[in-house]
Structure 1
Amino acid sequence: MSDLDPPRAYTIAGMGSAGALGFAKVTARLQLEAQGNTTVLAYDADVEIGGKLMSVGSRLIQSAASKNLDEFFSALKAHVESHAV
């Protein structure tokens, strides 16, 4: 986590390596905004791919990474909502 601006925003980053095949790095900026009794979470994410992965399947990997980000935030939303008071 970086660029902390509690409780309004922060940046999260992650990186994975596939050795000689290359790497993937994701960075997401999250923003939280209170709206009445709820909090709206907005995010903007960027995926960077390098090495052989880039030349072979960058579009497929970027699409899968985007899908995974959407699934992560959907699961986070469901978890938060299920634990709401």
Structure 2
Amino acid sequence: MKAVVLALALSFGATGAYAQTAAATSSCKATATEKKLAGAALKSFMTKCEKDAKASCDISAKEKKLAGAAKNSHVKKCVGDAVGT
């Protein structure tokens, strides 16, 4: 029950700006480890963090005017770095 409440709090409390800041300073996995997340809370946090990282990386690719394979490669590496694969 606590995990579900924590997952809901994280999904409503975390904003895109926070996720981008967290991704810029450390990976999603490192942040989740620091927060000692597990179970549903971990899954919820990682899903949101990855989604926010993808949006940020798509914007970055657009700013760099990348297209096709270059864009896909950039986004894949960018998301991987942010998530901490």
Higher relative contact order at CA 8 Å, sep ≥6: structure 1 or structure 2?
2
The TM-score bracket by the shorter chain reads 0.3 to 0.5
Could you say which structure has the higher strand fraction?
1
Could you say which structure has the higher helix fraction?
2
Larger Rg: 1
Q: Tell me the TM-score normalized by structure 1.
A: 0.38
